Chain A
């Protein structure tokens, strides 16, 4: 690669949901913006590995920035969903009381939520709870109902954010870890293995690595400790087991172990909360799964390990202040957007607006674009269409009649669409189209996806990876 440098108004380090939400927000203005991401695609950090909940806002502690931005963020999702077409549904949330002492906590949460402006909170008695959710453990005593809580496909959200940003002129650099930052009078220079990027402002959105990026700029006054959360996805056979998000009352370090009916209808259980030292420790453990299933059975007795189809872990970027750290630093132009732990997904669009305000205060002039494109086209989702709509799709494009993923009924046209929208890896295809997400976990579709991807990217099948880097999939035969 040749070393050339380009000059931007704003460089965003980290293409997670926070970086991408900010990028889209900035793309409304006449600015030169770049997103720099070390992985092969955006969203491959914590953003794709979480519970996918858009929290109502009654759970975060009082007086925190994360609490304020959480409530603000929640309100923004209906419009975002309409514009960007990601999977999102306000299915509502129930915080359930397991022991009599919990009932008082429900009242406190309700008061806290109301003071922040969370709408529609209700206390449900035992009878109401079991009428609405008949599969929950019979000894649960009551619940706080929050109708505005929802579920989202976080990967679809982040992909649609970057797509919108790119459509509005933002630049994306993938496979580009920032390794060094120079600060001098001319501004800030970010060095990646194959490029140097100059920018007037740098936004540090590097998730669990944000303290390292801050240190590179010489402002290492906080630290990040990863807190791992394991999640277990269950077979879609259990669809409908619960209709709303089920939370216990908040635990010491987290919101507790939850039952999550995902946007696509599968049930997920988790997460755990365990502080770890290694920032790449995404391993699931025997202890984690025991903890989750033993706890969840107390909420819903019919859930068991045997229904697991896959599991994963994500790392929360817990900062030394235990709150979001968002703001300018002593280095002119270097702005932290760090410590974005849970509810960072919920808060991300509000974080984006908040950061734009900061940039304005710091002297960035914001001239709105006349031709900002608000909408991006969502995926076609053949499986969810009615017969007539399916027929129409096939008429327009016969590739809709070729089934690539049998479990989730994903067609060849949708794989091409995923590639059109930026997928470069098998995981990129999976998270965009759902191919490989079902119960056979890619047994059927992997070779087909490799085939299509290698043709489209014009590379040999051996060059295809699961998620970039050294994650190769197949090798050439010797003979």
Chain B
């Protein structure tokens, strides 16, 4: 079994404690190790470290980072091996129920575990890497009854891949997020009848490669600008009414039709797992729902860092790892007493930019900015204030945009706020190759 640790082995005090042992948590631990921090602990509530990757048995992980296509568990295993080889403590079956800080900045991480009860672990810095959760029926208001058979796509994935059961046989999928697309294929392969994927927006929320490989290749229809307008059935779901949406995304019931099914999967978005972040009173970004962070991925509480899906929802694990290595490095440096001047440039989302992370920058260092657009656009130009622009062949909300900023770029900048805009490319045609 991966990453099991005996309760007796762990030490009372740490330099860096990482909450969550998914790719973000493991990346942060490695980053902290690289920085020279000595005592590092990763805590995860599951029996094994690896996070959501463990239930993603399809391949498609690591293309950017390892330059090869791995399955989720393979990607996790490679990292876990590195983590354990670097002498990081990994504590599984342990639930972090709170984090507190005292006036000197020392932090207490409250951990629950069967063998040890409730314990407060002392540490200099903390990295939050708790991942995300799925949006549910309640968050989008689908009228109708409340039968069984309505699941988030991730829960269905867990049933199938971790426990070997089917969520049902005749499936309708609402929302075209990646997990829904992956599950459409998975269930089709298991002999289920996947009746279609319905997406309220005029474009999909999943990666293009997933639309092709998971729907097109299996003849599963994708209905854009269409939603589930009613759920029927007393005990178990029996059918759904679907309807095209008009302006304001209101369903047009006059053009609705019914589909018999015994299961409705929801793939309607992910939200950072912000229970702990809220408990700590961290400043949260209303758009990402994750904490606001500086260019060192530090939250509004000094010495507390965040990375991965708990910060903002990523589509590719490679970028989670990239971000986590950085967060870990800064957390490790913090633990060793490094204090940097506060960022003095605020980054704001301008035209067709939904959000950007981090929310502030400092001159003199290299930065990676992660962002998402609001609407698809092609070809287009990404502009950082008047400092730089980059041509992009296309942008879609499903695919995160990353932008590297060179250390010298900000040296010439005198303002205190930079706006990022994505604008249509003038003159067309001049688009950069992929």
A residues near B, CB below 8 A?
233, 237, 280, 282-286, 288-289, 305-306, 308-312, 387, 390-391, 394-395, 398-399, 401-403, 406-407, 409, 426, 439-444, 446-447, 451, 461-462, 465-478
Contacts and interface: CB of A to CB of B under 8 A. Distances in A.
Interface string B130-153: 000110111101011111110110
B388 to A, nearest CB: 36
A472 B148 contact: yes
Given A283-B143, A407-B275, A471-B148, A440 B164 contact: no
Q: For chain A, what secondary structure do more than half of its interface residues adopt (helix, strand, loop), or is it mixed?
A: mixed
Interface in B185-241: 190-191, 230-231, 234-236
Given A398-B114, A440-B133, A441-B136, 11 more contacts: A237-B278, A282-B146, A289-B141, A305-B141, A311-B138, A447-B155, A471-B147, A474-B167, A476-B165, A476-B166, A477-B166
Contact of A401 (B118, B149, B151, B159): B118
A286 B231 CA distance: 12
A478 B117 contact: no
Given A310-B138, A447-B162, A475-B169, A466 B143 contact: no
A440 B136 CA distance: 7
B264 to A, nearest CB: 13
B275 A394 contact: no
B97 A409 contact: yes
A45 B117 CA distance: 39
Interface string B8-27: 00000000000000000000
B194 to A, nearest CB: 15
Contacts of B97: 403, 409
7 contacts: A284-B144, A390-B112, A398-B115, A440-B136, A466-B235, A471-B236, A476-B166
Given A284-B143, A391-B117, A443-B133, A473 B190 contact: no
In the A-B complex, list the 9 residue pairs whose CB atoms are closest, starting with the nearest.
Answer: A466-B148, A470-B235, A471-B235, A310-B138, A474-B165, A471-B148, A441-B136, A394-B117, A403-B95
A477 B136 contact: no
A128 B45 CA distance: 47
Contact of B152 (A282, A443, A473, A477): A443
B163 A441 contact: no
**Max chain B CB contacts within 10 Å: which of A289, A311, A440, A469?**
A440
B150 to A, nearest CB: 9
A177 to B, nearest CB: 14
Contacts of B145: 282-283
Contacts of B230: 283
B165 A462 contact: yes
Nearest to B168: A475
A309 B138 contact: yes
A472 B236 contact: yes
Contact of A286 (B116, B143, B163, B169): B143
Contacts of B151: 446
Contacts of A309: 136, 138-139
